[in-house]
Amino acid sequence: MTKSFNEYCKFLTEGRLDKQVEDDAFTFDVKESLDKISYINFKSKNHAIVELDEFKAIGKYVCNIYPNTSKNIAATLSLYPKDSKEVVTLMEVLIDTTNKTWDKNLVKFIKESENIVKKISDLGINR
């Protein structure tokens, strides 16, 4: 069953993420590949993040990674605002894990997200 990132965030902020999506854990092969990427941190069996940067005035930018279906994962560039429990999704992609280069596509998305956050940092926002 496909779930949107907003649904995941709703369940996460309500503390019900594991109950709501317990069947949606990363597949063994996907989890094994994600484990090889050193900067990916697992928050649960169905949610991984890459912390990109944090700005005192704004909040924290992260890439969220979660299983979407048994054949793809979703990756987002999100902002966790400083003074809010809301999560702002700036961009989301679905990555087909049946494609043998899916992990390279994920790394490319993360690198592009890092570049976007760097450009925001270059604007001179108070860190």
Strand pairing of 47-55 and 59-69? antiparallel
> Considering the entire predicted model, what is its pTM?
0.77
Residue 41 lies in a domain: yes
Per-10-residue mean pLDDT, the chain, length 127: 60 54 77 92 91 88 91 93 88 94 95 92 69
Residue 96 lies in a domain: yes
Domain enclosing residue 55, as ranges: 5-120
Residue 10 lies in a domain: yes
Residue 125 lies in a domain: no
Number of domains in the chain: 1
pLDDT at 70: 83
Residue 24 lies in a domain: yes
* CA nearest to 67, candidates 114, 121, 18, 13: 18
Q: How far apart are the first and last CA of the chain?
A: 40
